[in-house]
Amino acid sequence: MEGIVVALSALIFGLTLLVWSADRFVNGSAATARHFGVPPLLIGMVIVGFGTSAPKMLVSALAALENSPGIAIGNAYGSNIANIGVILGISALINPIMFHSNILRKELPILTIVTGLSILLLTDLQISLIDGIILLLLFLGLVLWTLQQGIRQKADTMGMEMERELNSEKKLWAGLSYGSLPG
What one-character-per-residue DSSP string does 78-91 give?
HHHHIIIIIIHHHH
Sorted by sequence, the CB contacts under 8 Å of residue 103 that are 6+ apart come out as 39, 41, 42, 45, 146, 149, 150, 153, 156, 158, 159
Lowest mean pLDDT among 68-72, 92-96, 168-172: 168-172
Global confidence as pTM: 0.60
What pLDDT, on the 0 to 100 scale, is given for residue 66? 92
pLDDT grade for 181, boundaries at 50, 70 and 90 = very low
The pLDDT of 93-108, averaged and rounded, is 74
Report the phi/psi class of residue 37: left, alpha or beta, with left for phi > 0 and alpha for psi in -120 to 50: left
Q: Which among 61-65, 140-144, 157-161 has the top mean pLDDT? A: 61-65
Neighbours of 159 (CB within 10 A): 23
Residue 89 has pLDDT above 60, yes or no: yes
The pLDDT of 173-181, averaged and rounded, is 53
- Residue 92's alpha-carbon distances to 41, 84, 117, in angstroms, are 18, 11, 28
The pLDDT of 120-140, averaged and rounded, is 90
- Residue 72's alpha-carbon distances to 67, 95, 120, 133, 166, in angstroms, are 9, 33, 17, 16, 36
